[in-house]
Structure 1
Amino acid sequence: MNASHWSAVKALFDAALALPSNERLAYVQAAAVSEAVRSEVLSLLAHSTGGERDEAGFLATPATVGVDGPAAEANQRLGAWKLVEPLGSGGMGEVWLARRADGAYEGEAAVKLLKRGMDSAAVLQRFAQERQALARLDHPHIARLYDAGLSPQGLPYFVMERVKGEPLDQAARPRSLPERLDLVLQLADAVAHAHRNLLVHRDLKPSNVLVTGEGQVKLLDFGIAKALDPLAEGGDAEVTVAGPRPFTPSHASPEQVRGEPVSTATDIYSLGVLLYQVLTGQRPYGREARTPQEAARAVLDEAPTRPSALQAPAGDSDWLRTRERLRGDLDNILLKALEKEPQRRYATVDALARDLRAYLGGYPVSAHAPSRGYLLGKFVRRHRLAVSLGGAAVLALAAGGGATAWQAHVAGQARDQAQRQLQAVQRITADLVFRYGDTATTLPGGPQAQEALLKETLAQLDPLAREMPQNGLLQGLRAQTLARLAELLGNQTAANPERADEAQRYTAEALSVGQPLWAEQHRDWRFALWYSRALRIQAQLWRAQGQIDRGLAAQKECIQLIDQALPFVPSGLAPLDVLGRASLLAQRALSVLEVGQLHSQPNLPSLNQPEEALRWYAKAEPDFQALLKDRAMLEVLDRNGVPGDPATAVYLAHQLGTVYGANALAYLRLDRLPEARAAIQAALALRRANVQAEPRNLIWRDGLMVESNTEAVVALREGDWAGALSAAQRAWDTAAQLAAEQGPQSKWAGAPRYLAAQMGRALVANGRAREALPILDRGLPLLKAQVEKTPLPVHRRRLGGLLLARVAALLALGQRAPALQELQSARTLLIELRDSEPGETRDAQLLLAEAAALGLSLQPERAAAWREEGLTALEQAAKVQPLARDHEALRERLKGPAS
């Protein structure tokens, strides 16, 4: 036995040992190796485990690793994670629940610890090569893969997002056929996203596709199948000669069983198997297979049974009706996905998904030959009423000798009617989505109604867009609808941050559809407006993830595109021309404003450049002022507005108030408190006037909440305790009212995470510490959850400030022990922030000085240490920017006697 032969034997034997005993024989039989290698491995398996029999052997006992003990145990650390309890085990290894243990943030994950025999060095090498590609998999239906490494016992492990749910086949059983198809379409979207990023899953099966309690699909284990592939790029030269590829026989493609190279067609085949199981509850072939070997042979040798020809599953009383729905299109879709030859399957996952959506919408599918009778039948089913009304006349004429001429006549009429219908759809959709829809969005319950309207509109547009891909106007309308939905779900003013992933999906699709249309359609101000608004939302979503540079690029592109579109809007006073010009000018001013906010905004990720922010605000303010002064424009817009729309001047006053509020925040960053006070008072004057004019408008009330919170910050820094409490109470009450109206999923339900600190500090300063603690305790878990999900520096700094507010409240109530414990937690977080985030250094130092002053009161016996720590922190903060009056007051407090 030479080295090459032994390497092949060892690779196949080790891989087989990693599988359950009842799967090993089929795996070895299906491997692309020589008969000599296969015989040697089968002999080794027979002597060590009893081959395919379930006899007890050394592999039937709990897994151990040489003399090093168990593969894993509770409380064991793997990198930044600590194992808590096992969640399950399988052929590849064990899965453990793990919790974050390095203090960076709190969180749970699932850790997959691979068994011995997975060739750990090669696995990790291949995984490292895949990491960059896997990092691109940002999709709501793909479980994130966080990290990988080697355990102390030398076993590879993967850290993945923990998903609580049922396997796809189990979750599908109680659902209707359309609901089952929806689950598969979610999965198809995830796989298509991966394919666009040049990644193939290789192991699609029910246990790798979980469905959460909310009906959301999550695809697991991306990247692991390739990492375990001995024939993947970078593998050992000897192993690649004859090494086996891991796969699951019951869901593998024929090329996988034959050991041939895999491609996106492999995933398409496995999707077909899953779709077959979801719709029928049975496998497409090999239903009598009792061993993995028989299942693997069935993949190669058996043709899949036509789904509608299956016998009723045991206990399924509804099978006859299901079988009728499978007959025809679904039969053809499934059989096309399950073609043995890759080139005969669907070319892409998107093509498979398009057919499924076409089926659901009653449209022709590509898997069915486009015969005249088939297309006519589809038309009849979609338009039953019209056909029933005209059916008698058609049949009468068809019975005569002029059937052919009549068919041509009917076809011509149908084309004309279809064109008129499309034009009507475009007009109606444009009005519903873009004209009348905005009014509803600002009223209580309106955003939910608008979301439902937009999604229903998309459901009607999608089949039309698929049938007429060359119709630019229709594609543009779809892009605009996607952009409107993206803005509703993703804008930073009123959207729930928890829905950012969904907003990102709609934004990306709107830009993907719209970008190729820009050159042709940017002369249409409606298209230009909504495409640029999608870019603005993309910028806001990137900012929320801490990707400031990408956000700036998107906002500046938005400004450039609007400048391209503006010259094509006529300059007269025709209502639509005035609306188009005003809308684009206001949109450009908003992007200019948001470029400034990207340079500096204390409670959101920014570049921390307040001087630069003020320069951008100085560009936005005159644009809004000019629009407000254009009386002719205001009159035209208000005269032709939709009933219930806000007055144009009120809308522009709101945007101007946003500029003033942004100025106040920038002045606060620069410690220019008098200017901050003047700016916030100007903003509040506009906010109050708007709320008085339209007291039910959600956006105006949100503006009042935001600026009231800023006023509380200014008052706290000025030492105006009564004013701070009044402003903080106004912000808190407004948020509570909005949350009560809009429900627990709204943005305002989460508002305590950034309002609680000001409200709590103001209550403590006014001698009402006992009322402050419940307020602070409302905000703390919300802010911790935000830090856990998005541990950006700005969120961690806000958490440190909130913890210090709790320390002050506990101290005022005489609860010194919990106050000291909380103080230490805050100091640990702030010291890490100071040392790891240069952009947060000054704020962290100022908060550490505040922490030292609290420590001075809590531990007078350590007065010297606390004084030194606090004064040093202030000294370091002063090197970045001179101290303000409130900071100097803090310095004097630290120098004075302990209290």
Structure 2
Amino acid sequence: MHAGEHWQQVKALFEAALEQPWAAREAFVRASGVDPAVQDEVLSLLAHEHVLQDATTDSFLEPPLADEPGPLLPPGERLGAWEIVGPLGAGGMAEVMLARRADGAWDGEAAVKVLKRGMDSAAVLARFALEQRALARLNHPHIAHLLDAGRTAAGLPYFVMELVRGRPIDQACEGLALEARLALFLQLADAVAFAHRQLLVHRDLKPSNVLVTEDGQVKLLDFGIAKALDPAEGEHTGAGPRPYTPNYASPEQVRGEPVGTLTDIYSLGVLLYVMLTGLRPYGRHATTPQEAARSVLEEEPTRPSALSPGLVSDPQWMATRKRLKGDLDNILLKALDKAPAARYPSVDAFSADVRAHLTGLPVSARAPSAGYLLSRFVLRHRAASAAAALAAVSLVVGAGVASWQAHVAGQRLEQLRGLSRDVVLRYADAVTYLPGGLVVKENLLKGLLGQLSEVEQEAGDDTEWLALLAGVYARLAQVGGDDGGVSLSKMGEARQHAEHAITLARRVLPARPDDAALSLALSQALQIRARAQRADGQPEQGLKTLEEAMALIDQRLQRLPPAEQRDLQVQRASLQIVEAQFFDQQTVASLNRPEDALALYGQAEQALRRLERDGDASLAPLLGTLLGARAITHARLGRLDASRADAEAAWQQRLRAVQAEPFHTGRRDELVTEATNAAVILMRADQPARAVLASQAAWDTVQRLAAENGPQSKWAENLPRVAQHHGRALALVGRSADALPVLDSALAYWQRQRTAKPGPHPERLWAWLGIYRAAALLGLQRRDEALTQLRQSQVILEPLSRESKGGDALLNLAESALVMAAAEPAAAPAWRQRALQHYQAADALRALNGEHLRRRDALARGEPIGL
């Protein structure tokens, strides 16, 4: 029998077997009467874990089968814009090839999935087309996206997908902390929820279809057996035989019943169980697909916290076993309920419970009884002082169980009180583990505001409750006004919360003069007010506000024993850092006191280092802020060595924090800020090679944050600023090909600004970045384009340089002259002389930094230098 006939028989028998009940397929194949070799191959396809699916469900990157006669597409064959490089993997029905972009439009690699010869029956072609259509509808950062599609020269259908290099999600969890594992799961859940909103059910969620890249990004693959939901049928697809992978299938899949979104929720539950324990919830001893399928129907999953230590080899499970007990146990068992109606109603609801657990809030997987709410409350406050914890508990439970039951209204208000405080005090920090979590935080806090208003109305003149509300509003102001966490458009809301906190605190402070927590809340709200006043162009008024906040803290510190001063000491240091930034004002003569700023930074650092020596690792972010701000002050004073040392210490500290908590949004944001500042300072210090290290970290991180949090986030707004510094650094070290697209993105932004807000600033920045773009073009041997760009920049800069504040424009003209010297070697001496003249003229108008001083002095010595 030749190969074509063999494959036709395999195809026909395989498709016929798929129509049989799962348990009857082996007998059906053996009774077919076809060649035993064909029977064996069909049974192999049916039994293979990755091919108990439909015609295109081979695992996306399964290693090629050893007995394949050769690749369908030889290296070098073109498929439209793509050129085949070699095989990546293969399964029963399709092959996956590595391809590279070959039309010159852009450089890149992709994965090409092509249907095998002989597998072109109507049913298989329909399934292959379904996968293609599914991918075309799914534009999501955590779903591998479709790039192209067509047919080969031999008529075989193919499609081109994003190439994902990574590890299956269960393997990627090895060695990760519990929070990091849950963060990975939430990325996956977001992708599945998005597919559901597009009316698509994946139906084959398993580790090999969920890869995690080196930078921690989840990518969902292989919609080969995805099913389109019919809106008229609700969330279920029709009944009948359908493929599945037994180890991750739902009971309804095994029984051949209708499947829908609840099927994916079940499979997500299995995946999360595996991610947290390293074991499947059942079927751990199954040796055949039949046994695995039977276990889905008959075995109840063991609570992950109750697994036998002899079964689990993951050391993280032992370390976090106690943390699994309770909420995570209940979350998983709810997702894994045999009855679809008892599971989470949606992936979003499943995710919400995981997020609630991360933040210490109650989860829906168990009834919110009084005892349960109390246990969550105590858990969240175990780090508080014993007296504060006891007071909090007494406020929740009242005078005892009898009192609790007797006062229903009081019970409801107490619960609101506890939840309101903890949503704000805990959620704002814990949510930063979650990519995209700022959207969740914003939605939760919006809902909370209505509850707070109700609590305030019912509190009346109760000073204890009003003091608590002042603290909650102060924390809301911090959450909303935190430079590391919001869109630039949200500062107004933060100011409103701060003002409300100030009003409440001042109202009750006379009755509670020894309430340290109230004083702390008032001081924090005043700090937000001061920053807002500075932003509004009232720095002197802001400084008076800071002085009031500092006096309040100092008064309370005098009344507290040293063991209870920690929070107030940290707030005092924070106030000193903000005050130092006020004294670094170049535009207000009375506040232009950089030496005073340095003294305040020193005092704050001394206090924080002392607390840090006591084992308080939570102070690292505040220390990073201090070091970064002081680096800028040193740079203003021309103390480049001190500036460089602080800047490098700041961004390296941020980098270590991100490496320790790679999914922490706040830590990543701090890295963007400090690494960008460090890159600028290092370029000024004439150390571009070190600047690139910092700018690359900032650029990579801000792009991910912008993608995760959307076009309205502060990181999307910050992309052009980071791009302009990273592009400059790349150009300075000669990485022209890398620099050009980054600079182009920054230039596009400033071009829009030139149109929207005409004026000297956007004009000069566009021209300045154009100089570095020209340098990159020269490096790519694109001289004519470079000269055009340079001349455009010079036309803009010449009139700006003749203004009274034209020092920056003169420096930019000097830079353009150095690039012109490289572009026109014959006229290079004249261009260098012109650059020297521009530097000398600029020196009369403003202080020169390290890179400009080096160039000026080298030019004065007649050295043939460039940028």
The alignment's TM-score, normalised by the length of structure 2, stands at 0.52
- The structural deviation recorded for 1:371 is 0.8
Alpha-carbon distance between aligned partners in 1 of 2:366 and 2:273, rounded to the nearest angstrom: 17
Segments of 5+ residues of structure 1 without an aligned counterpart are: 1-8, 18-23, 234-239, 463-480, 512-529, 545-600, 625-653, 692-699, 732-747, 749-762, 776-899
Name which of 251, 256, 265 aligns with 2:253: 256
Alpha-carbon contact 2:240-2:256 (below 8 Å) kept: no
Contact 2:82 2:103 in 1 (8 A): yes
Tell me the equivalent position of 2:796.
679
Alignment of 1:240-389 (within 5 A): 244-314=241-311, 316=313, 318=315, 321-386=319-384, 388-389=386-387
Confirm or deny that 1:421 pairs with 2:471.
Answer: yes
Gaps of 5+ in 2: 1-8, 49-63, 231-236, 419-454, 456-464, 484-490, 492-530, 532-577, 582-624, 633-646, 681-694, 727-740, 775-784, 839-850, 852-858
What CA distance in whole angstroms lies between the structure 2 residues aligned with 1:164 and 1:618?
41
Please show how residues 374-773 of structure 1 align to structure 2 within 5 Å.
Answer: 374-386=372-384, 388-390=386-388, 398=399, 416=465, 418-433=468-483, 435=531, 443=632, 444=647, 498-499=700-701, 501-508=703-710, 510=712, 604=744, 617=754, 620-621=757-758, 654-655=761-762, 657-658=764-765, 677-683=794-800, 708=815, 712=819, 721-722=828-829
Hey, what does 1:211 align to over in structure 2? 212
What residue number does 1:77 align with? Answer: 77
Counterpart of 1:189 in structure 2 is 190
What is the match of residue 148 of structure 1? 149
Q: Secondary structure at the match of 1:604?
A: helix
* Contact 1:49/1:57 (8 A) holds in 2: no
Aligned counterparts, 1:158-169, within 5 A? 158-169=159-170
**What's the offset of the Cα at 1:269?**
1.6
Q: How does 1:791-810 map to 2 (within 5 A)?
A: none
- d(CA) in 1 for partners of 2:380, 2:478: 20
Please say if residues 14 and 118 of structure 1, whose CA atoms lie closer than 8 Å, have aligned partners that are also in contact: no
Pairwise CA distance, 1:156:
4.0
Deviations 1:335-367 (A, max 9, x none): 111223333222222222222222222221111
2:219 match: secondary structure:
strand
Distance 2:126 2:376 in 1: 53
Change (3 A) 1:28 1:128: closer
Mapping for residues 62-141 of structure 1, pairs under 5 Å: 70-72=70-72, 74-75=74-75, 77=77, 79=79, 80-115=81-116, 118-119=119-120, 134-135=135-136, 137-141=138-142
Alignment correspondent of 2:21: 29
Residue 252 of structure 1: CA displacement? 1.8
Take 1:373 and 1:57, find their aligned partners in 2: how far apart are those partners?
Answer: 53
Residue type matched to 1:77 in 2? E
Shift, 1:383, TM fit: 1.4
Q: CA deviation at 1:272?
A: 0.9
**Aligned partners of 2:84 and 2:100 also within 8 Å:** yes
**SS at structure 1 position matched to 2:386:** helix
Q: Does 1:180 align with 2:317?
A: no
Q: Compared with structure 1, are the counterparts of its residues 269 and 135 closer, same or farther at alpha carbon in structure 2 (3 Å cutoff)?
A: same
* 1:357 partner letter: R
- What's the counterpart of residue 14 of structure 1? 14
**Cα shift at 1:372:** 0.8
Distance in 2 separating the partners of 1:154 and 1:90: 20
**CA deviation map 1:750-794 (0-9, x unaligned):** xxxxxxxxxxxxx9xx998xx99xx9xxxxxxxxxxxxxxxxxxx
Question: Take 2:665 and 2:700, find their aligned partners in 1: how far apart are those partners?
Answer: 27
AA partner of residue 264 (structure 1): T
CA separation in 2, counterparts of 1:115 and 1:175? 39
**Separation of aligned partners in 2, 1:672 and 1:62:** 54
CA RMSD of aligned residues (A): 6.1
Q: 2:473 & 2:665 partners in 1: Cα distance?
A: 13
Task: Give 1:193's aligned amino acid.
Answer: F
For 1:146, give the aligned amino acid: L
1:439-498 C-alpha deviation (Å, 9 max, x unpaired): 958944677888999999999999xxxxxxxxxxxxxxxxxx999999999999988654
How far 1:117 sits from its partner (Å)? 6.3
Secondary structure, counterpart of 2:471 in structure 1: helix
Aligned equivalent of 2:619: none
Distance in 2, matches of 1:399 and 1:606, equals 63
State how far apart, in whole Å, the 2-side matches of 1:606 and 1:315 are. Answer: 51
Residues 620 and 659 in structure 1, CA contact (< 8 A), matched pair in contact too: no
Partners of 2:103 and 2:219 in 1: how far apart? 27
Q: Rate the CA distance shift 1:398–1:45 in 2: closer, same or farther, 3 A.
A: farther
**Does the Cα contact within 8 Å between 2:82 and 2:101 map onto a contact in 1?**
yes
Structure 2: distance between partners of 1:729 and 1:292? 78
Aligned positions, number: 569
> Structure 1 359/686 Cα, relative in aligned 2: closer, same or farther at 3 Å?
farther
Structure 2: how far apart are the matches of 1:361 and 1:460?
13
Map Cα deviations across residues 103-128 of structure 1 (whole Å, 9 max, x no partner). 54443333334445654655555655
CA distance in structure 2 between the partners assigned to 1:139 and 1:659 by the alignment: 33
Given that 1:95 and 1:111 are in contact with CA atoms closer than 8 Å, whether structure 2 keeps it comes out as yes
Q: Distance in 1 between matches of 2:720 and 2:746?
A: 15
Percent sequence identity over matched residues? 41
State the Cα deviation string for residues 549-598 of structure 1 (Å, max 9, x = none). xxxxxxxxxxxxxxxxxxxxxxxxxxxxxxxxxxxxxxxxxxxxxxxxxx
Alpha-carbon distance change, 488 to 113 in structure 1, aligned in 2, over 3 angstroms: farther
Match for residue 828 of structure 1?
none
The TM-score normalised by the length of structure 1 is 0.50
Looking at structure 1, the residues matched to 705 and 43 of structure 2 have their Cα atoms a distance apart, in angstroms, of 54
Counterpart Cα distance in 1 of 2:203 and 2:218: 18
Q: Distance in 2 between matches of 1:77 and 1:500?
A: 38
**Taking structure 1 as reference, are residues 413 and 145 closer, same or farther at Cα in structure 2, changes over 3 Å only?**
closer
Q: 1:308 to 1:353 in 2, by over 3 A?
A: same
Distance apart, 1:370 and its partner CA? 0.6
- Within 2, Cα distance between the matches of 1:242 and 1:397? 54
- In the aligned structure 1, how far is the partner of 2:360 from the partner of 2:812? 48
Report which stretch shifted further, 264-273 or 108-117. Answer: 108-117
> 1:466 corresponds to which residue?
none
Cα deviation, residue 51, structure 1: 5.9
Q: Distance in 1 between matches of 2:370 and 2:13?
A: 57
Counterpart-to-counterpart distance in 2, 1:729 and 1:135: 57
Which amino acid in 2 is paired with 1:680? L
- Report if the CA contact (8 A) 2:10-2:41 is conserved: no
String of CA shifts for 1:116-172, please: whole Å, max 9, x gaps: 565465555565566576345444433233233444555444433333322222222
User: Partner amino acid for 1:708?
Assistant: E
- 1:837-872, Cα deviation, whole Å (9 max, x unpaired): xxxxxxxxxxxxxxxxxxxxxxxxxxxxxxxxxxxx
Mapped to 1, the partners of 2:244 and 2:275 lie a distance apart of 20
Do 1:225 and 1:246's aligned partners in 2 also have CA atoms closer than 8 Å?
A: yes
Q: Any conservation in 2 of the 1:307–1:326 contact (CA below 8 Å)?
A: yes
Q: CA deviation digits over 1:737-756, x for unaligned, max 9? A: xxxxxxxxxxx9xxxxxxxx
